[in-house]
Amino acid sequence: MPTKSILMPGIPCANRGYLESATAIYQVRGLISRNQANSIVMACGHDLPATVELSQRTPKGVVYIALDGKAHSEITTRAHIHRLYPGLV
């Protein structure tokens, strides 16, 4: 299995619009799908403002989201959101 690499370094996102713009770059580059980009915004939207970091093993693979340096959720290849709770990680 390939190692995780940083897709988007931790950037402060004040609101959903800023996060949408940030993920659009990776969608255009073909690293995440449109549905994954939408799911990232949905998964993080209620927890903003925060520093958001995205990592990934392969292009258009599972996207791992960390908010403020802590694991938050995973977005599958089919853009399903899997929340990670602090007690389980």
Domain ranges in the chain are 5-83
Say what the pLDDT of residue 1 is: 80
Rounded to two decimals, what is the model's pTM?
0.90
pLDDT exceeds cutoff 60 at 77: yes
User: Percent of the chain beyond pLDDT 90?
Assistant: 90
Q: What are the contacts of 78-81 at 24+ separation with CB within 8 A?
A: 78/35, 79/33, 79/35, 79/36, 79/38, 79/39, 80/39, 81/39, 81/42, 81/43
Arithmetic mean of pLDDT, 7-21:
96
d(CA 61, CA 56): 7
Average pLDDT, the chain: 92
pLDDT digits (tens, 9 = 90+) for 29-63: 999 999 999 999 999 999 999 999 999 999 999 99
Q: Running DSSP on this structure, what letter comes out for residue 45? A: G
